Structure 1
Amino acid sequence: MAENLSGSQGTNAARIRNLLIAIAAIALGVAISFGFHTQASSVSLEAQAEQSTPLEVALTNGKPTLTEFYANWCTTCQAMAKDLAQLKQNYADSINFVMLNVDNSKWLPEILRYRVDGIPHFVFLNRQGEAVAQTIGEQPLSVMEANLDALVANSELPYAYSTGQTSTFNAPVNAANSSQDDPRSHGTQVKQ
């Protein structure tokens, strides 16, 4: 009889262990599924950049433009990605959305022209392609909407030149190799 009791306890222990393994497997499956869902529904900066209006088109098509200087590694840019995707959807017919990656040296002239030293850096351009305002750093959705509404109406932007949380960025400028004057030099030349 002692052997039956001992065997019964072993069977119960095995059942409990198997039940715990099954519960852990289900929990892990749910967590993985949720992780894939969250990742799939998040807004990618790269995908937004691919869908953005090319700068050359935006400067010539007669629509006002919001230009965003960003980087994929910029946590503040990532934090604003969802709001910007919503703005792009809401204002797609009336505003160009241009995204310029600061890690791409192609955009160095624009980085220097608009004095980008923190990202995200937003430049608001009127219908003629002229800069009318800039904001730097994370901006609330309501601030961006108010600025875009004013841009479409060709009015003064209510939140021009505002600054929020940024990611630091230093333009890759080497005075010895640059054929252009750095606008930050205020006309001074570096003698070699």
Structure 2
Amino acid sequence: MVNSPPTPALGQGERLLLLLLAALLAAGLLWFRGGLHPEAPLERLARQSLDLQVALHNGRPTLVEFYADWCEACRSMAPAMERVEVQHRGQLDVVLLNVDNPRWQAELERYAVNGIPQLELFDATGVAVGRAIGARSAGELQALSDALLSGQPLPQLAGVGQVSALGSDPEPKAAEAGTMASPRSHG
């Protein structure tokens, strides 16, 4: 058996340095994970959003996002959505509807949600004026909300379109509803 030299004990200065390093790492991790607020922007927005029917009938334009907790695009878009909500609070309603919540099944069918994130855009009278499919940048969200607030046409962006009541049936027929793709299906 080979004897190895004894390991010297850490001195008081080294212990203090390790303690300081551990405290800095803990503080950095806390900051990186959002501070002492365990909720991410997506959860905060969803928790504080108005009921959809209230939002559509209160005289303010409404931006509805169909999302899922597991959706990376939805999560990455959430800070910008939160900024829009804070900036336009009292002028524009931001409503989040989780596609995994069976409570919103009728809305998923009504608005033909088959991918997320999907934004439904409504004027101040609750009339659907457009739809945006896919992740949106902060600038795009701001442009969409500005158009809603000013009553102007929606900006020309990829994946954004006007909606029309012509030929649309707001209530899907039972046979069609059974064959509709689920927003949670990936194939």
Give the match for residue 77 of structure 2. Answer: 80
Q: Which runs of 5+ in 2 are unaligned?
A: 161-171, 181-187
Q: 1:22: how far off? A: 4.3
What amino acid sits opposite 2:176 in the alignment? Answer: D
Report the AA paired with residue 133 of structure 2: I
* Amino acid paired to 1:14: A
Given that residues 125 and 131 in structure 1 are in contact (C-alpha distance below 8 angstroms), is that contact kept between their aligned partners in structure 2? yes
- The residue number in structure 1 matching 2:116 is 119
The 8 Å contact of residues 80 and 141 in structure 2, kept in 1 or not, is answered as no
Partner SS state of residue 9, structure 2? helix
Q: TM-score, normalised by structure 2?
A: 0.74
The equivalent of 1:105 in structure 2 is 102
| Mapped partners of 2:155, 2:178: distance in 1 | 27
Residue 40 of structure 1: aligned partner: 34
Give % identity. 31
Judge conservation of contact 2:63–2:94 (CA < 8 Å) in 1.
yes
Of stretches 26-35 and 140-149 in structure 1, the one that deviates more from structure 2 is 26-35
Give the corresponding residue for 1:170. none
Aligned residue number for residue 24 of structure 2: 30
**25-34 or 59-68: which moved more?**
25-34
Asked if 2 retains the 8 angstrom alpha-carbon contact of 1:123 and 1:135, the reply is yes
* Alignment deviations for residues 142-179 of structure 1 (CA, whole Å, 9 cap, x no partner): 1111111111111110146627xxxxxxxxxxxxxx98
Structure 2 SS opposite 1:155: coil
- Number of the residue aligned with 2:9: 14
Farther off after superposition, 27-36 or 41-50 = 41-50
Which of these residues, 26, 33, 52, is aligned with residue 55 of structure 1? 52
More displaced 10-residue stretch of structure 1: 131-140 or 99-108: 131-140
* In structure 2, C-alpha distance between the alignment counterparts of 1:21 and 1:116, rounded to whole Å: 57
In 2, are the aligned partners of 1:113 and 1:183 still within 8 Å (CA)?
no
- In structure 2, the CA distance between the partners of 1:87 and 1:30, relative to structure 1 (3 Å rule), is same
**What TM-score results when the alignment is normalised by the length of structure 1?**
0.73
Alpha-carbon separation, structure 2, partners of 1:15 and 1:28: 16
Q: Structure 1 unaligned segments of length 5 or more: list them.
A: 1-8, 164-177, 187-192
Comparing both structures, which one devotes a greater share of its residues to helix?
Answer: 1
Kindly state the Cα deviation for residue 10 of structure 1 after the two structures are TM-superposed.
6.6
Alignment check: 8 A CA contact 2:42 2:79 kept: no
Provide the C-alpha distance between the structure 1 equivalents of 2:113 and 2:147, rounded to a whole number of angstroms. Answer: 23
Q: Could you list the per-position Cα deviations for residues 54-85 of structure 1 after superposition, in whole angstroms to 9, with x for gaps in the alignment?
A: 11111111111000101111111111111111
Deviation of residue 181 (structure 1)? 4.2
